[in-house]
Amino acid sequence: MDFQGTLFEAAPATPDFSGLIRTPLTRGAWVDVCPAWLPEADDVFRALLDDVPWRAEQREMYDRVVEVPRLVHTYLRGEALPHHRLVEARESLSAHYAPELGEPFVTAGCCYYRDGQDSVAWHGDTIGRGKIHDTLVAIVSVGDSRRLCLRPRGGGDSISVELGHGDLVVMGGSCQRTWEHAVPKVARAGPRISVQFRPLNVF
Ligand SMILES: O=C(O)CCC(=O)C(=O)O
C-alpha cells in the first residue's frame, strides 16, 4: 500500500463549507466542490481500509461474468460507520444541504480503488428516486487523487474534478438524471476510497 498520509493536515477541526465552490451545469444540474473538507482524513482512510468488509462485485458482460474493477460495501440506514469523523461528515452534510435536500443523508456507499486500474464506468445514480427526482449525492474522497469526470447524457463537453485526500464533491439538482459520472482508469495511482452519502432510496 503506497499511500502516504499528509504530514500536516490542512483540513479544519470540523467540516467547514467556507471553501465550497458551486459550478452550475446544464439542465438544472450542479456540482459543489470543497477541497480539504474532511478532518483527520489520514485516520479515516486507515479505518476504512482496515475495517470495511470490502467485497468484490461481478457483472455480466456479453457472454461472460467479469469482476467489477473496485471493491465496495454499503452502510445502510442505522448501521454504524467505521469512523466518528464519517458520522460527523454525514450530519454536517445533512445540516448544510437541508434547505435544498429537505431530508437527511442516511446511507454511505464505500468504494475502494486499489490502484489506477480500478475504475467506474459512466453512469448516473438512477436506481430509486434519482431516476425521476432531483437529489443530492455527496462524495468524500480519501487516499490518492483521482479524477471524477462528468458529462451530459446524450452528448456534450465533459468536465472533470480532481478529487484529493479529504476533498468533498456534491452532485445536485438533476445531475443523476441528466448527467453521467465516471472515475476513469489511469496509468498509475495509489489506493483511494470514496464514501458516497445518499438520502434514502437513492442508489
Ligand atoms: O468514486 C467515486 O467518487 C464515484 C463513485 C460513484 O460514482 C458511484 O459509486 O456511483
Ligand 1 centroid – CA 120 distance (Å): 7
Residue 183 phi/psi, 5-degree rounding, is -120, 100
| 14 domain-assigned | no
List, for residues 68-102, the tens digit of each pLDDT value. 899 999 999 999 999 999 999 999 999 999 999 99
List, for residues 95-110, the tens digit of each pLDDT value. 999 999 999 999 999 9
So what's the pLDDT on residue 7? 53
Residue 13's pLDDT band, with cuts at 50, 70 and 90, is confident
| 129 domain-assigned | yes
| 7 domain-assigned | no
So what's the pLDDT on residue 9? 54
| 8 domain-assigned | no
Q: Which of 116, 121, 136, 110 is nearest to 200 (CA)?
A: 136
| 15 domain-assigned | no
What is the torsion angle, in degrees rounded to the nearest 10, for the CA atoms of residue 9, residue 14, residue 18 and residue 20? Answer: 70
| 137 domain-assigned | yes
List, for residues 20-51, the tens digit of each pLDDT value. 999 999 999 999 999 999 999 999 999 999 99
Section 58-63 average pLDDT: 80
CATH number at residue 153: 2.60.120.590
What residue ranges line ligand 1, CB within 6 angstroms? 109, 111, 120, 125, 139, 141, 148, 181, 183, 194, 196
Residue 182's domain comprises 21-198
List, for residues 120-160, the tens digit of each pLDDT value. 999 998 877 767 788 999 999 999 999 999 999 999 999 99
So what's the pLDDT on residue 130? 66
Count of domains observed in the chain: 1
Mark out the alpha helices in 19-83 (DSSP H runs): 41-51
Ligand 1 centroid – CA 8 distance (Å): 27
Residue 60's pLDDT band, with cuts at 50, 70 and 90, is confident
| 2 domain-assigned | no
Ligand 1, residues 139, 163, 175, 186: which to mutate, most atoms within 8 A of Cβ? 139
Residue 6's pLDDT band, with cuts at 50, 70 and 90, is low
Ligand 1 centroid – CA 48 distance (Å): 16
So what's the pLDDT on residue 8? 52
Ligand 1 centroid – CA 19 distance (Å): 22
So what's the pLDDT on residue 98? 97
Q: Which of 179, 167, 159, 111 is nearest to 141 (CA)?
A: 167
So what's the pLDDT on residue 189? 98
Ligand 1, residues 72, 118, 181, 185: which to mutate, most atoms within 8 A of Cβ? 181
Q: Which of 113, 112, 89 is nearest to 37 (CA)?
A: 89
So what's the pLDDT on residue 66? 82
Q: Which residue's CA is the closest to the ligand 1 atom numbered 1?
A: 194
| 9 domain-assigned | no
Ligand 1 centroid – CA 196 distance (Å): 7
Pairing mode of beta strands 159-163, 146-152: antiparallel
